[in-house]
Amino acid sequence: MLVTEAICDRRSRRGSVAIQLGLLMTVLLAVAGLGSEITFLLFKQRQMQAVADSAAMGGATALMRGYPADFRIEAKAIAASEGFVDGVAGVAVVVNRPPTLGSHAGDNASVEVIVSQPQTLGMVSLVTSTSFSVGARAVAAAGSGGAFCIIGLGTTASGVVTIKNNGVVSSPTCGVGVNSNSDSALTLENNAAIYGPVSVVGKYSLAGNAHLYYQTPPYPRQNAEPFTDPYVSVSLNAAGASARTQPTGCTVCQLQPGRYAQGLDYASGVTLNLAPGVYYIDTRLNLTNNVTVNATGGVTLVINGSYAMNVGNNLNMSIAAPTSGPTAGIALASIRSASSSITQKFSNNATLNLTGALYFPNQTLQFDNNSAINTPTCGQLIARMVSIQNNANLKTTCSGTGVAPVTAGGPTQLVE
């Protein structure tokens, strides 16, 4: 009897141990599953943090450059490109300027991005239907970049940008930048003035009652970083362009884009209407004696050779660059191989109504003898050297014009 009871007792204990082991294994499996889900949450949070960082940087960069005009669109587009589309699958991408939290709260030069998405965990869902909201936050500060619309690309010469004899860059939104390391890289003389920010790799020289007005720190800057040519990658190549000859015998002439091997030569009150496109002009560009040019539908004129254009004597030119395509933003340019000894002039009461860039990367661009530059929204003068002896009324509201914005200052950086 005692032997039988002992055997039964051992069997009952073995059964109890088996039950306990089963329960323990269940707990261990649950812990392991919960651990993997916590690891997943940590992974999602890190992924969202990387997205928030990138979106904040993109938004702050757009804010500094002014393009795209709505920096929130840029930030959300960057988040979407990483798989976090605002309003899809519970994702929320919130972009704030100024930030609402942290050390940069209230700072209008900073952009805050908050990315969140609810996550459902399998093990946790066995005991509760509550989802976990995972999120990340980042703040980026825009660089101290002013908007620049006159850039001298020359790197060593003095007077790479020269403004003199009552010449004025009158818009406070138009900065002047110079890449030369010379002690007189930017030269202002005889009542010349600049009203926008100034940034020079070398130094500037003021003489004869010349002034820099409205300079807000960190401007004017000397010993600054050089500017990047915003159109350096643009190809100005006539290959494949349709062969054209200029219309003659007309007082109102209609021109089509293509390559004009014999150039263009008009005078005496002729009106030229240019269809949209790129015009490669070989040999000569003579527009004088009250010629009117209407080229506002998206036109690029390219001086396709080493010659000096002759434009003046009451010329009235209205030109707007293409807003898209290979020459977007460029209204008038010379090819890169053009001789650096040539000066391209607007003179003798020429009036230029410009939306876009005048781009002469290896030549001097000069305005004198009462020539006038008017840019209702956006204009740039970018050349190896720039010389202005009269009023330059340029503006930098360039969103949607195709013009590549040019900025300077400290870099955009993550601050939270």
237-249 per-position pLDDT tens digit: 999 999 999 999 9
Please state which of the ranges 67-71, 209-213, 221-225, 231-235 shows the lowest mean pLDDT.
67-71
Contact 139, 110 (CB under 8 A): yes
| Rounded Cα distance, 275 and 295, in Å | 7
Amino acid type, 318: S
- Residue in the structure block whose two tokens are 């970018």: 382
Please name the helix (run of DSSP H) or strand (run of DSSP E) that holds residue 272, with its range, or none: strand 271-274
Residue 398: the pLDDT is 85
Query: 408: pLDDT confidence band, cut at 50, 70 and 90?
Result: low
Residue 201: the pLDDT is 93
Please state which of the ranges 22-26, 189-193, 240-244 shows the lowest mean pLDDT.
22-26
| Rounded Cα distance, 371 and 34, in Å | 76
Query: 150: pLDDT confidence band, cut at 50, 70 and 90?
Result: very high
| Rounded Cα distance, 2 and 398, in Å | 101
Mean pLDDT, residues 290-309 taken together: 97
Query: 37: pLDDT confidence band, cut at 50, 70 and 90?
Result: low
Is the per-residue pLDDT at 52 higher than 50?
Answer: yes
| Rounded Cα distance, 190 and 368, in Å | 14
| E-strand stretches of 316-402 | 316-320, 330-334, 343-346, 351-367, 372-374, 379-388, 391-393
- Residue in the structure block whose two tokens are 């003068």: 381
116-137 per-position pLDDT tens digit: 888 766 555 444 455 667 788 9
Whole-prediction pTM: 0.67
The one-character DSSP state at 93 is: E
Please choose, from the candidates 318, 235, 216, 332, the residue with its C-alpha nearest in 3D space to the C-alpha of residue 272.
318
359-376 per-position pLDDT tens digit: 999 999 999 888 888 888
